[in-house]
A and B are shown apart, each in its own frame.
Chain A
Amino acid sequence: MRLRTFAWIILLLVGAFLGANITSWKLPYTMPENAREGKTVWQKNNCISCHALFGNGGYVGNDLTKLLERRSEDEVLNYLTDPPVMRPNREHLHPALETADAEALISYLKFLGDIPTLGWPPEPREVRE
């Protein structure tokens, strides 16, 4: 293979890749303003170090992509504004949020819950108590 052929192949591949990405990341509907704020709250508090979204993130806490299918909004709000001790610690609390921030975050999680994720997180085969 010659230099020129190599350069053309690379250019075409990168173009095709970028094009395919841009057409693939369309949102199911426009992101509401409070969900956008929620995303900022998520990032500012570095939640990703311990939790995952779409399965990507830290391993200390659970994946939160579809959290609102497991917990009610009130439960989550209480948890975030009046956080409990984080197991296995005896003193160390879960980081706390202001009520407004917690509400924005919940909107963000609600928005994420509506994104079709092709079956993520997986349904357990045998549901145990």
Chain B
Amino acid sequence: MKTFQAQVIARRYTLAAALLFGTQGIVALLGAADLIIPDLPSPIPYEYGRSIHLGLAVLWPLIGTMGMVYYFVSEDLDREIFSLRLARWQFWLVLTSSLSIYASLSFRLGRGREYLEGLPWSYAGIALALALFSYNLIRTLVKHKQRITPAAMIMSAGTILLLLFLIPNILTITNPIADEATKFWVVHAWEEMAFELTTAGFLASYLKNTGLAGKKDIEKWLYLEAALTVAAGLFGTGHHYYWIGFPAYWLIVGFTFSFFQLIPVALLVLMVHKGLKKRPKLGNRQKLTLALILSSLFYHVTGASLLGFIITVPWINLYMHGTYITSGHAHLALFGSLGFLVLGGAYYILSRGTQPDHKTYRRGILAVLALNGGLLMMSTALLIAGFLQAYRARYLGMDFMEVNLKLNLYLIARAAGGLLFTSGDLLLVWQILKAWRNSRPAASDS
């Protein structure tokens, strides 16, 4: 198979994403320890550690996604990307902007906005990188109009939407209601709309290019799936608007459209199921990639969609909102669904042209199992802790701090799950690094 230069450049994006993910596991573990060990001495206080953790949670999947979009768009169009130079510049821009967020937060300089924790100019840098990205993709699509595939199109649409919804978040917004709403344009519209488009695009290209599913089978309804994703994802943001000072009609809008969010996910599962029904014979590289993709799909259905839908019901949300249940869902959905997928893409891209030997493959599978086990353990502990918070503090009206101080057992279980998770994290990143090194001669950038 032909290798495009864009696919070589995609390697640095996915490698950076994997390394940042490795760092996140360690930072997170320290944060989880801080919550259970009183007076834990730490160079970075908990509140800034949490900010770094949340900042990392949205940015490494973004960087990985950029690489995956370049890789799969050039493969799908069977053409080179419009400008390789822009793609290289974009990489350094998004990487330095992201690193500047972590650096400033380490010095306790931030903006005090959840998830968008860094200083405004860091986000301006990321927005500029996204603008270069969108421009590069649009020019590519225009140049090869005849070859446009639905998968390439929806990945590009996802990219443009990422840019659009980040821009207001560069500004300083004084109106607290607007500030809260625009934050969710990243927390929600990115995760549950734009990244859903890129996810559907990857899965479609992956299945097509590995011969797991026919071109026709997939492309038939990809635009329909994408349009539904955008409609449901956009107005589903309403489930974050229930209590922030928005009018009451958002209770109905948020709930209804969140229900519709389940439909494109079901279509996605159907697409993969159809591909796998053929019981294809796969090499170790494909199998390891598939293990990551199937893990992602599992959490996409359970922790993201089903659990997400339960907590969207307004009178359930009123009691569980902002408890550890939210954190449980956030980990299951953001890492479970998006994180696993990006890691699958990273491994697939970085191992191209090589096959892992038996030992490496076994280690890879072990890492996936540890990540799954750790994630399930962390999230289960968080869901129980959150249920106790909702019931005791919100429903019975017991003192909030009294309730919180009795959650130690669950926070310890969470930290233990985190330890398992981080071991899987480091083991997987190590296998990804090995794949990167072994495939280097085959993929040198000119």
Task: Please report A residues at the B interface, Cβ cutoff 8 Å.
Answer: 1-3, 5-7, 9-10, 13-14, 17, 20-21, 24-27, 31, 36, 39, 42-50, 52-63, 87-92, 95, 111-112, 115-122, 124-128
Contact = CB atoms under 8 A, between A and B. Distances in A.
Nearest to A26: B177
Interface in B15-64: 35, 38-39, 46-48, 50-51
20 contacts: A5-B223, A10-B161, A10-B230, A25-B245, A39-B176, A46-B47, A49-B46, A55-B321, A56-B180, A56-B240, A58-B47, A58-B114, A89-B39, A90-B39, A92-B38, A112-B176, A116-B245, A117-B243, A122-B395, A126-B395
Given A14-B164, A54-B180, 6 more contacts: A6-B157, A10-B230, A21-B181, A95-B47, A119-B318, A128-B397
A87 B401 CA distance: 8
Contacts, number: 167
B164 A92 contact: no
Interface stretch (B272-280, B322-330, B337-345): B322-330
B113 A59 contact: no
B224 interface: yes
B195 interface: no
Given A24-B247, A118-B248, A118-B251, A52 B397 contact: no
B112 A46 contact: yes
B435 to A, nearest CB: 36
B196 to A, nearest CB: 13
B96 interface: no
Nearest to B234: A17
Interface string B148-184: 1010011001000100100000000011111011010
A111 B246 CA distance: 16
A7 B150 CA distance: 11
Contacts of A7: 157
A7 B231 CA distance: 12
B227 A10 contact: yes
Given A21-B181, A24-B250, A87-B405, A48 B245 contact: no
| B-side interface mostly | helix
Contacts of B243: 54-55, 117-120
Contact of B230 (A13, A39, A43, A63): A13
B48 A3 contact: no
A120 B318 CA distance: 7
A6 B175 contact: no
Given A52-B322, A59-B323, A128-B397, A118 B223 contact: no
Contact of B322 (A59, A111, A116): A59
Contacts of B110: 46
Interface residues of B, number: 68
B33 to A, nearest CB: 14
B352 interface: no
A126 B394 contact: no
A3 B178 contact: no
A90 B38 contact: yes
Contact of A42 (B112, B181, B226, B253): B112
A111 to B, nearest CB: 8
Nearest to B386: A59
A108 B84 CA distance: 49
B396 interface: yes
Nearest to B248: A118
A46 B118 CA distance: 11
B51 A6 contact: no
A112 B175 CA distance: 10
B175 A48 contact: no
B387 interface: no
Contacts of B48: 46, 49
A9 B227 contact: yes
Contact of A115 (B164, B176, B240): B176
B215 interface: no
A54 B223 contact: no
Contacts of B408: 88
Contacts of A60: 35, 46, 404
B401 A2 contact: no
A60 B224 CA distance: 43
Contacts of A128: 396-398
Contacts of B38: 88-90, 92
A82 B321 CA distance: 31
Contact of B51 (A46, A52, A116): A46
Nearest to A28: B245
A48 B187 CA distance: 15
A127 B397 contact: yes
A106 B407 CA distance: 30
B219 to A, nearest CB: 11
Contacts of A62: 400-401
B244 interface: yes
Contact of A3 (B46, B50, B114, B148): B148
A6 B176 contact: no
